[in-house]
A and B are shown apart, each in its own frame.
Chain A
């Protein structure tokens, strides 16, 4: 029986603030899972800590709500042990780019075949609105006692520099577009990253829904235009088509330059995609020829309740 969108929803009460951008993201994830028809018990949603951390409880697949900053570590371990799983990790920008930044960079180097979605809102919501790593220097959201003294991290740029092989940005109020991005990200063979702009209506009074919609931007003809625009509509070509240094470098640098665009115009869509980099699965397969066919989680480790591993060759070599 085909799975419906409602099958991917749990009946857990959602206690996010009214108007929270997180709703759009969780909806887009559920829609993407339904559209791809991924079996519920073959998918795992990992989440970090904070408002976004509750996401895994709202989605009716396996759900693992982990620790602050550490979601990628749990998710990679599960995927390595059982490569059949569809693994999606989610977390806030403080979670992934503050306390978890080391894991973010290291995950890029591994290119494990899974998806990481950051709910990017510029504040630490659940602890009442402190500045998060994507808030710009000098900005003062409403509960900050004084303007932010740190410069911001560029999530797209950091992902590209770290080796993520699919890097995109979505907007939580464009759910359909976001759903399409999630599908592309999950289908990508390798580590995909989605930076999702997600207004926090309670604590971020700067990057609000109206601000993204450009209500403050009025051109000469008194016409308003949204800050958000789609890369694909501008003919931006993010995909690395062949494995040559100039091709890769060109696609990397144009993505990096695009990632710096912020203010009156904010690009969403796919910044970079390189399907030619070996996944971690392939790298393990190169060392362990039957890794995919007999991965850690599938191995039979006993026979009649006793060890079935034959270590006699090693013991022979130790025998005197």
Chain B
């Protein structure tokens, strides 16, 4: 039995409906029982620059994209120029034949470094610097070409439906691309119609035009396109499957675990989460009146963090969501939260740094920054989720950790998470345990907020609680929270706060700290979204009889060094895989386990790793042909 593993790519200028096209395609495939892993790539731009979406479709659970594209739908020249080389032999390119002989020079959004590389390739193969030139290469590579005039297609549809509006309605191009693709792979057409109806359920007129266009294009492809070996006829649907966008995992987790205040400042790729929370601000509560999340757009990230702390002081589960540059602004307040033992959660959707970096691109650049954020020594938790499904449950855990240990928690996510669309098992909110730690409902006289206790955690009052008056200060303080510069008290207070780090390692269950996928002679250490491509690469190797171990670090501060050492024992080759330049996890690993990393597989192009790339590098390592630092480069 052969497995289905099909990758579809749609591209076009930003603002031309690439995302909604990909949503339709993903939803149709998911409805027909397939597992989906999709990822959006886009420029820091509103309209015009090249944007594309890769949707991988399989009949088993997948965790990443691959290098190979099976079918590409292109309605602009730039998509063809940028991606023709990714389509495999036997794969196909559906494209708008009206693009004709568009030369590279007439596509102004093709930047110089890319054009130079493309021209070099075309020159070496003696091809013209045009669409025809690149398509000839594709054809030589064994790619099947499916040209259609998108304009003529709309014209004849317009005549057939007697709807003159359709003629020249270029915003239909995305639906045409999707529908031609689905027709070509013989996806049963009903699911396409149904999906469009659901997506446009609030706009029946628009739904109708889209359905007509879809139907016409689908039939066109079925009738006219031939000789394509790949089909997606549908498989048995796994019950309880959801199709979800990356940022929804943490947002739904926040709703479920009782986060009721989220101040934020807009930043890519984090703001989608806050906007989604606000779109669902009124919450249904079992057996009670409705609840709500107050989502507050602030003037900057400093205010977002200040409001989050202010909210947390009232006993409200409070969080903010940001990315590297915003997190940088929050760090003074992070120290204040640490000093005052305030439970806050900062969801950090990382992107490529340094500075503004690649603002819409992926990177796991901020691990060390998160671990060391803030001046002075104070306890904090840095916790990373491996995929979107995990991020839902982890969000609940992060709030519990914050409450139980009374420390700020930085929940590390990233752009790869945020802009991926995946199928996974429906979340089960009943698995979200709520543990508020030593939060008080009632206080007796003589309350001291920072009372010395056996476990180093003091009972916590909240602003407004009867008899629970306390003081906070960023200065060193006594047990009441009043400023004190006494040297002996200072040591006791520092020791009390910092003792939290051991308490955390002791009390968080080890399976929440580290996930071991097995330890082998070669064992990978990795974290965050990179786990996905690594897992898929390991599956590929396993099929060849090669077993490589994987240890996923979720708790990154405090670092479970002893536990990791106990898992690894002695004689293993350690491979660190992550999406940054310096191998930040590797540094933390060495610092906390005393062991060197033998190989690094790193990517910092701003594009997420594919499992293909990881597989290739691992192969090289096993064959003893790898560099100490394997740098991955795939992706436009």
- Is B260 a contact of A301 with CB atoms below 8 Å? yes
Contacts A67-B333, A297-B462; A74 near B310 (Cβ below 8 A): yes
- Is B244 a contact of A309 with CB atoms below 8 Å? no
- Cβ-defined partner of A41 (8 Å) among B261, B282, B465: B465
Answer yes or no: A1 CB below 8 A from chain B CBs.
no
- Cβ-defined partner of A300 (8 Å) among B285, B310, B468, B483: B285
- Is B310 a contact of A75 with CB atoms below 8 Å? yes
In the complex the two chains form, what is the Cα distance from A259 to B372 in whole Å?
Answer: 46
- Is A66 a contact of B306 with CB atoms below 8 Å? yes
Answer yes or no: A222 CB below 8 A from chain B CBs.
no
Interface of A is mostly: mixed
Point out which of B280, B336, B426, B434 has the most chain A C-beta atoms below 10 A from its C-beta.
B434
Answer yes or no: B105 CB below 8 A from chain A CBs.
no
CB B500 to nearest CB in A, in angstroms, measures 21
Contacts A82-B463, A290-B292; A311 near B474 (Cβ below 8 A): no
Answer yes or no: A102 CB below 8 A from chain B CBs.
yes
Contact residues in B for A77 (Cβ distance below 8 Å): 261, 263, 306-311, 313, 318
CB B427 to nearest CB in A, in angstroms, measures 6
In the complex the two chains form, what is the Cα distance from A297 to B461 in whole Å?
Answer: 12
Contact residues in B for A305 (Cβ distance below 8 Å): 433-435
Contact residues in A for B123 (Cβ distance below 8 Å): none
- Is B256 a contact of A63 with CB atoms below 8 Å? no
**Interface 1/0 per residue, A309-320 and B, CB below 8 Å:** 111111100111
Interface residues in B371-391 by Cβ distance below 8 A to A read none
Instruction: Name which of A52-60, A167-175, A232-240 contacts chain B.
Output: A52-60
Q: Nearest CB to that of A307 among chain B residues?
A: B432
Contact residues in B for A148 (Cβ distance below 8 Å): none
Interface residues in B571-607 by Cβ distance below 8 A to A read none
Answer yes or no: B290 CB below 8 A from chain A CBs.
yes
- Is B288 a contact of A300 with CB atoms below 8 Å? yes
CB B375 to nearest CB in A, in angstroms, measures 12
Contacts A303-B287, A306-B434; A320 near B31 (Cβ below 8 A): yes
Answer yes or no: A140 CB below 8 A from chain B CBs.
no
CB B313 to nearest CB in A, in angstroms, measures 6
Contact residues in B for A189 (Cβ distance below 8 Å): none
In the complex the two chains form, what is the Cα distance from A66 to B315 in whole Å?
Answer: 17
CB B496 to nearest CB in A, in angstroms, measures 19
Answer yes or no: A127 CB below 8 A from chain B CBs.
no
Interface residues in A2-32 by Cβ distance below 8 A to B read 10, 12
Answer yes or no: A302 CB below 8 A from chain B CBs.
yes
Contacts A40-B469, A62-B463, A318-B242; A78 near B288 (Cβ below 8 A): no
**Range of interface residues on A (Cβ < 8 Å):** 35 or more
Contact residues in B for A302 (Cβ distance below 8 Å): 258, 434, 436
- Cβ-defined partner of B472 (8 Å) among A65, A290, A313: A65
Answer yes or no: A158 CB below 8 A from chain B CBs.
no
- Is B464 a contact of A306 with CB atoms below 8 Å? no
**Interface 1/0 per residue, B296-310 and A, CB below 8 Å:** 101110110111111
Contact residues in B for A315 (Cβ distance below 8 Å): 242, 252, 426-427
- Cβ-defined partner of A57 (8 Å) among B434, B463, B483: B483
Contact residues in A for B322 (Cβ distance below 8 Å): none
Answer yes or no: A70 CB below 8 A from chain B CBs.
yes
Give 24 CB contacts A-B under 8 Å: A49-B474, A57-B473, A57-B482, A63-B470, A67-B333, A67-B474, A72-B306, A76-B306, A77-B263, A77-B309, A78-B313, A79-B310, A80-B294, A85-B464, A106-B299, A293-B289, A296-B316, A297-B464, A299-B285, A301-B434, A309-B256, A310-B283, A310-B429, A315-B252
B residues contacting A by CB (< 8 A) are: 27, 30-31, 237, 240-244, 248, 252, 255-258, 260-261, 263, 280-294, 296, 298-300, 302-303, 305-311, 313-318, 332-333, 336, 396, 423, 426-427, 429-430, 432-436, 462-475, 481-483
